[in-house]
Amino acid sequence: MKRISLTQYLIEEQRLHNNIPAELRLLLEVVARACKTISHAVGKGALGEVLGTAQSENVQGEVQKKLDIISNDILLEANEWGGHLAAMASEEMETIHPIPNRYPMGEYLLLFDPLDGSSNIDVNVSIGTIFSVLKAADGMESPSEADFLQPGSKQVVAGYAVYGPQTVLVLTTGNGVQCFTLDREMGSWVMTQRNMQIPADTKEFAINASNARHWHPPVKRYVDEMLAGSTGPRAKDFNMRWIASMVADVHRILNRGGIFMYPADAREPDKPGKLRLMYEANPMAFIVEQAGGAATDGQQRILDIQPEKLHQRVPVFLGSKNEVELVTSYHKAK
């Protein structure tokens, strides 16, 4: 089989489909290279002294793992000097990171969750990186947080890497979803899946069931009906998976269908879920929609939400279209 590298794929997207400008292609190459570096650090584990926690908290009050910080630094350093970006933002940084004056400023904005699934780092379970690219407004002189607050439908690229048994990179430039596997010997990304499609129906769901007592009635109803199995209202048996790394759960759904949920719940007093809109929900929603699936916050399409804050949280229901539509209809019916 002919091997298509990430570079060839991106050049052909630019040349044949006129889908991405050269600047964006080069930016993607840099992000992919940074993911390769993170994969390498992750793979060393205890031998590279990268496991365990750091002595710090991020802006969301989470204790940072060493790899959260290492991955953030790798992405910052790789992307600072290329001339394609105006600024970056990350789960691990309170506010935006403008490109330093010593480098030229480009027209794109990059957002990332440098290391997704932090609780899995030390136990050798799949983790990943999520990223999203936006275009800065024309004529923008010095970027501010407000420049990032664009709805997800404005994303020009979204992607994630999974550092698991294999390292894979999944991305969309708005023309379907492709998967590349890292060839560790050659150091290159090789296309292994073209046009990934999520089946519209599924018998598998993903939710952290330990929060069940806090769920709002629509979520409780939806999950209870699945748990009732073949003799219940859904008339079929469902299976459950929860990895606690969104990247790994979403990757499974892209490959064999399923629904992933991190709902709002009745805590404090109305917790909007856990996941962050700008660098978790939006990029994943873009990818899932490009693969024929759906993504809502229970009420509306995630990609239509007008962000108000960089680190804002949002309820997430994404994956197989018919299931996402069903749980969304339960929210609307309440």
CB of 261 to ligand AHG, least distance (A): 10
Kindly give, in sequence order, each residue whose CB lies less than 8 Å from that of residue 90, ignoring residues fewer than 6 positions away: 72, 75, 76, 97, 111, 112, 113, 114, 279
- Member of 116, 204, 265, 297 binding Mn ion (CB under 5 A): 116
Q: What is the DSSP letter of 271?
A: B
Task: Restricting to residues 258-277, name those near Mn ion by CB under 5 A.
Answer: none
Query: Of 3 and 309, which has the nearer Cβ to Mn ion?
Result: 309
- Member of 91, 249, 265, 323 binding Mn ion (CB under 5 A): 91
Residue 244 binds: one of Mn ion, ligand AHG, none (C-beta under 5 to 8 A by kind): ligand AHG
**Ordered alpha helix ranges (H), 257-320:** 282-290
Which residues sit in the known binding site for Mg(2+)?
91, 113, 115-116, 280
Residue 119 binds: one of ligand AHG, Mn ion, none (C-beta under 5 to 8 A by kind): ligand AHG
CB of 124 to ligand AHG, least distance (A): 15
CB of 127 to ligand AHG, least distance (A): 8
Q: Is 276 exposed, middle or buried (0-12, 13-18, 19+ CB in 10 A)?
A: buried
Query: Of 81 and 242, which has the nearer Cβ to ligand AHG?
Result: 242
Query: Of 216 and 234, which has the nearer Cβ to ligand AHG?
Result: 216
62 binds Mn ion, rule: CB under 5 A: yes
Kindly give, in sequence order, each residue whose CB lies less than 8 Å from that of residue 59, ignoring residues fewer than 6 positions away: 93, 94, 311
**203-240: b or e for each residue (b if 16 or more CB lie within 10 Å)?**
ebbbbeeebeeebbebbebbbebbeeeeeeebeeebee
d(CA 77, CA 185): 24
Which residues sit in the known binding site?
91, 113, 115-119, 208, 274, 280
CB of 81 to ligand AHG, least distance (A): 26
- Going by their DSSP bridges, the two strands 316-319 and 294-296 should be labelled as antiparallel
- Member of 36, 70, 109, 113 binding Mn ion (CB under 5 A): 113
Task: Restricting to residues 197-256, name those near Mn ion by CB under 5 A.
Answer: none
Q: Is 100 exposed, middle or buried (0-12, 13-18, 19+ CB in 10 A)?
A: exposed
Kindly give, in sequence order, each residue whose CB lies less than 8 Å from that of residue 139, ignoring residues fewer than 6 positions away: none
Residue 245 binds: one of ligand AHG, Mn ion, none (C-beta under 5 to 8 A by kind): ligand AHG
- C-alpha 62, offset from chain centre: 18
Closest CA to 92 of 77, 114, 122, 75: 114
CB of 273 to ligand AHG, least distance (A): 10
Binding site for ligand AHG (CB under 6 A): 62, 91, 113, 116-119, 208, 244-246, 274
- The tokens describing 31, both together, are 């992000």
- Going by their DSSP bridges, the two strands 108-116 and 85-90 should be labelled as parallel
Is the distance from CB of 263 to CB of 281 less than 8 angstroms? no
CB of 57 to ligand AHG, least distance (A): 12
Segment contacting Mn ion by CB under 5 A, of 55-63, 154-162, 166-174, 221-229:
55-63
Query: Of 171 and 246, which has the nearer Cβ to ligand AHG?
Result: 246
Which residues sit in the known binding site for substrate?
116-119, 208, 274
122 binds Mn ion, rule: CB under 5 A: no
Residue numbers at the binding site for Mn ion (CB under 5 A): 62, 91, 113, 115-116, 118
